[in-house]
Amino acid sequence: MANKQRGEVDLQIGEQSYTLCVTLGGLAEIEDVLGCETLDQFSEKLSKMSMKSTIQVLEKLMRKDGKPVNIEEIRELPGASFSQAIVAIGAAFSAGQETDAKPEKAGDEKNA
């Protein structure tokens, strides 16, 4: 089950459950997969992925029982769809952004 505090999201394919999580190392690997030189290119290429690059990006984000899922396993997933993969990748990136906010420390409240 995904830990929302860590920016994880669940992906259910058939009876199998997977966890997706964006990490700094994963982002660097995704940059290489997409052939990005800048963050602007990263965003643009991420929004225009092919099926091949979608599978490669999933490989960098996806875990089953805490262990990485290899690209061959992803290619053989029965019942997986391109749209389901894109939605899951988007959710993983959104979850990562939600955890970027720093929690307030006790005593930091402003006096009203």
Q: If we measure between CA atoms, which residue out of 2, 29, 3 comes closest to residue 17?
A: 2
pLDDT, tens digit, for every residue of 41-53? 998 998 899 999 9
Q: Which CATH code for domain 4-98? A: 3.30.2220
Q: Which residue has the tokens 């990485």?
A: 68
DSSP state, 9? E
In terms of Cβ atoms closer than 10 Å to its own Cβ (0-12, 13-18, 19+), residue 86 is: middle
Q: Which residue has the tokens 């899951």?
A: 88
Q: Is 17 strand, coil or helix?
A: strand
pTM: predicted TM-score of the whole model, two decimal places: 0.77
Q: Give the tokens for residue 44.
A: 């643009």
pLDDT at 78: 86
pLDDT at 20: 94
Q: Is 14 strand, coil or helix?
A: coil
Per-residue pLDDT of the chain in tens (112 residues, 90 and over written 9): 788 778 889 988 878 889 999 999 999 999 999 999 988 899 899 889 999 999 999 999 999 988 999 999 988 888 878 888 899 999 999 886 665 555 445 544 444 4
- Residue 85 makes CB contacts below 8 A (sequence gap 6+) with 54, 55, 58
pLDDT at 109: 47
pLDDT at 21: 93
pLDDT at 112: 42
- Residue 69 makes CB contacts below 8 A (sequence gap 6+) with 18, 58, 59, 62, 63
